[in-house]
Amino acid sequence: MDNNRIKEIIAKRVAMEFKDGNLVNLGIGLPTLVANYIPEGVEVTLQSENGFIGMGPAPEPGKEDPDLVNAGAQYVTVNEGAAFFDSSISFSIIRGGHLDFTVLGALQVDEKGNLANWMIPGKKVPGMGGAMDLVTGAKKVIVAMTHTAKGSIKIMKECNLPLTAKGQVDLIVTEMGVMEVTPRGLLLKEKNPEFTLEEIQKQTEARLIVSENLKDMEI
Amino acid sequence: MNKLKTIQEALDMIKPGMTIMVGGFLGVGSPELLIDGIVQRGIGELTLIANDTSFPDVNYGKLIQNKLVKKVYTSHIGTNPESGYQMHSGEMEVILTPQGTLVEQIRSAGAGLGGVLTPTGIGTVVEENKQKIEVDGKFYIVEKPLKADIALLRGAKVDKKGNVYYNLAAQNFNPIMAMAADLVIVEADEIVEVGQINANDVMTPHIFVDVVVKGDR
């Protein structure tokens, strides 16, 4: 499947989770695309952890403001009704239970809802930035990612990379399906009709529990 | 009390080996001339406290690029490859801390608290060698206060008394760091007369600010 198509499927499906009035933080990369697919009639406020709510799209060329960037240092705009604050308030929003959703990518995620997305020992140590706070504090944590990393498995029985947070992930959305973290393990609730159950399980280390109400993913 | 100083006078206060905290997020909301001055003078052996280590050629990222930092407290070094090199070679010690914890460590230093209790990092390497406390059945990590000799900040509008107004997302760590250092230097995009910032719009009250310098924006 074409890479852009994969991203579109994932971003579109994640956006369907939001309810009118939700406050949402979108991570860098694929999760940022989710903003393009928020359904009509659903008003979502986006938070940028460097200190504002009400983030809008990228500015027109020539209209960039050096003091207005997102958490990835890209120029953005704000919508009417936006608000700026300092980093302490920003993370009070995040940790304090005021954020409805955080959407972020993963290096690994497992059937207990553990997430690893901030370092590969000996190879890459960028740091956790705001990810640990986001995953610990948001009411709902959605992992939005390609099902495998070019074939190497990311949905594990147990993560073996250093964790970002323990047992905090609620939902995993990939181009193959939608999996909910439950006390019994990963419940496959929706699947992309282009894949068979066997194909999906083969790309997943954790054993998938197939929902009795398994639906086709809207793609 | 005259808080207005030249950049050179302000730089005279920054000594090798000091702990400095620098406001900003990936360099946005950071003092440009003060950082360039430190690089020019080669004031080294610094301990840096900043949200991230910026980019190699952007603001406080230059301190690392020029090997002036021996230790850094930060949440993210991924945008400055030089930080990773110096960490692996052992030239620079890197203390990685979740961003929300870092800002609360700084805030608690300025607020006279003995640190903060946070659930962030429980079950991860962040909790290693730290005290944990159970409150009403939930576990928290004890994170200690973090203060500096000098805070280097940037404000959009600063009056001659030292009241600060920040612009848009350039606020970030600045108002928190203003409370957590022995000496607070603010680089102002614009210096205005006292009274020209409405008292309602003051974001950092003047009592936190020791020195005001004019930036080149």
The per-residue pLDDT of chain A, averaged, comes to 97
Kindly tell me the number of DSSP H helices and DSSP E strands found in chain B.
Answer: 6, 11
The catalytic residues of A are: 49
Residues from chain B contacting residue A164 (CB–CB below 8 Å): 124
Is A84 an 8 Å CB contact of chain B?
yes
Measure CA of the first residue to CA of the last residue in chain B; give whole Å: 25
- From B111's Cα to the closest Cα of chain A, the distance in A is 13
CATH code of the domain covering residue B44: 3.40.1080.10
Q: Which pLDDT band, with edges at 50, 70 and 90, does A31 fall under? A: very high
Whether the predicted pLDDT of B217 surpasses 90: no
Compute the average pLDDT of residues A171-187.
Answer: 98
B51 to A86: CB separation less than 8 angstroms, yes or no: no
Question: Measured between CB atoms, does A49 come within 8 Å of chain B?
Answer: yes
Q: Does residue B25 fall inside a structural domain?
A: yes
Q: Is the pLDDT of residue A1 over 90?
A: no
Count how many residues are written for chain A. 219
Q: Which residues contact B14 (CB under 8 A, 6 or more apart)?
A: B20, B38, B43, B150
> What separation in angstroms does the CA of A8 have from each of A36, B32, B58, B66?
9, 40, 33, 42
pLDDT of residue A218 exceeding 90, the answer is no
What distance in Å separates the CA atoms of residue A122 and residue A102, rounded to the nearest whole number? 28
B121 falls within a domain: no
Q: Let me know: does B169 contact B159? Beta carbons within 8 Å.
A: no
Per the domain annotation, does B133 fall within a domain? no
| B117 close contact with A: CB closer than 8 A | no
Listed by start position, the domains of chain A span: 3-216
Residue B93 falls inside a structural domain: yes
Q: B202 at the A interface (CB within 8 A)?
A: no
In a domain, B14, yes or no: yes
Mutate to test the interface with B, among A67, A68, A98 (most CBs of B within 10 A): A67
Average pLDDT of chain B to the nearest whole number: 98
Residue A219 in this model has a pLDDT that exceeds 90: no
Q: Does A88 touch chain B (CB under 8 A)?
A: yes
ipTM over 0.90: yes
Q: Which residues of B touch A68 (CB under 8 A)?
A: 168-169
Range of the domain at B72: 7-115+146-214
Do the beta carbons of residue B188 and residue B157 sit within 8 Å?
Answer: yes
* In a domain? residue B136: no
User: Could you give the number of structural domains in chain B?
Assistant: 1
Q: Which of B98, B167, B173 has its CB closest to that of A67?
A: B167
The pLDDT of B21-36, averaged and rounded, is 98
> Residues near A195 by Cβ (< 8 Å), separated by ≥ 6?
A176, A177
Predicted pLDDT of residue B23: 98
Q: Do A162 and B124 touch (CB under 8 A)?
A: yes
Residue B169 located in a structural domain: yes
What CATH number is given for A3-216 in this structure? 3.40.1080.10
Mean pLDDT over A94-103 rounds to 98
pLDDT, tens digit (0-9, with 9 covering 90-100), for B156-202: 999 999 999 999 999 999 999 999 999 999 999 999 999 999 999 99
Phi, psi of A30 (to 5 degrees): -50, -45
Over residues A65-86, the pLDDT tens digits come to: 999 999 999 999 999 999 999 9
Using CB atoms, pick whichever of B99, B107, B170 lies closest to residue A133.
B99
In this predicted structure, the answer to whether residue A190 has a pLDDT above a threshold of 90 is yes
pLDDT by residue (tens digit) across B89-126? 999 999 999 999 999 999 999 999 999 999 999 999 99
CB contact under 8 A, A165 and B123: yes
